[in-house]
Amino acid sequence: MTRATIVLFDIDGTLLDAKGAGRRAMEAGFAAVTGRADGLAAVRFAGMTDPQIVRDGLRAVGLPHDPTVVAQVIAAYLERLPAELRVGPPRRLPGVEAVLERLRGRDGVALGVGTGNVEAGARAKLRAAGLDAYFGFGGYGSDHESRAELLAVGARRGAASLGRTSHGCRVLVVGDTPRDIAAAHAIGAECLAVATAFHGVDELRAAGPSAVVETLATPAAQRWLDEHIA
């Protein structure tokens, strides 16, 4: 019998390449609220939650970074994101659709996202890439600023969809950054790391994932998922 399993996928760099739409929308929203176009120039978005990104940008230019200002910037970002996604629709990364099709509908398996995007931004990106139908739940940057905490939220939601508690389920995290790996460790989950964005195989391996692959299209990725869901 398949053990109840929750699989949480990161979005940017793991499932899709949004071709800079998120950064452009965030920078424009930040400038609209703060009047500073340079605030996010030195902020690396990879592996960060949206609230962390905004807070780091506000700190960088010496502006207040209280929750009200952070929420205003994120609201301005969300207003601009759909138009930026239309500039060039996101590209699905190699092997993504095949993996999701392989896992969808399997007994005792719940597919969700574990992403630093706030929920509205995550849904907009997935919809633009034609991937939204695969995911009924997730843990989002709007749930918690900490990636580990938002993964825990996603795990609880996935467990509830299976009629279980998260303590009675295996949790697998699929992500592309060392932050994904660290957050998976923090909640006791196993992690499959994919080198499809800014971090190479060696760098990801040094962070200690359960396994690392170049893309989800590799036989090793398929094998790892099958073994951990059997």
pLDDT tens figures, 115-172: 999 999 999 999 999 999 999 999 999 999 999 999 999 999 999 999 998 788 999 9
pLDDT digits (tens, 9 = 90+) for 18-65: 999 999 999 999 999 999 888 888 888 888 899 999 999 999 889 888
Average pLDDT, the chain: 93
Q: How confident is the model at residue 230 (pLDDT cuts 50, 70, 90)?
A: low
Q: What is the pLDDT of residue 42?
A: 82
Contact 120, 78 (CB under 8 A): yes
Q: Which helix (H) or strand (E) holds 215?
A: none
Q: Token digits for 143?
A: 């749930």
Instruction: Burial-class residue 8 by CB neighbours within 10 Å (0-12, 13-18, 19+).
Output: buried
Q: Token digits for 172?
A: 């697998």
Residue 173 DSSP SS3? strand
- pTM for the structure as a whole: 0.94
Distance CA 183, CA 55 (A): 20
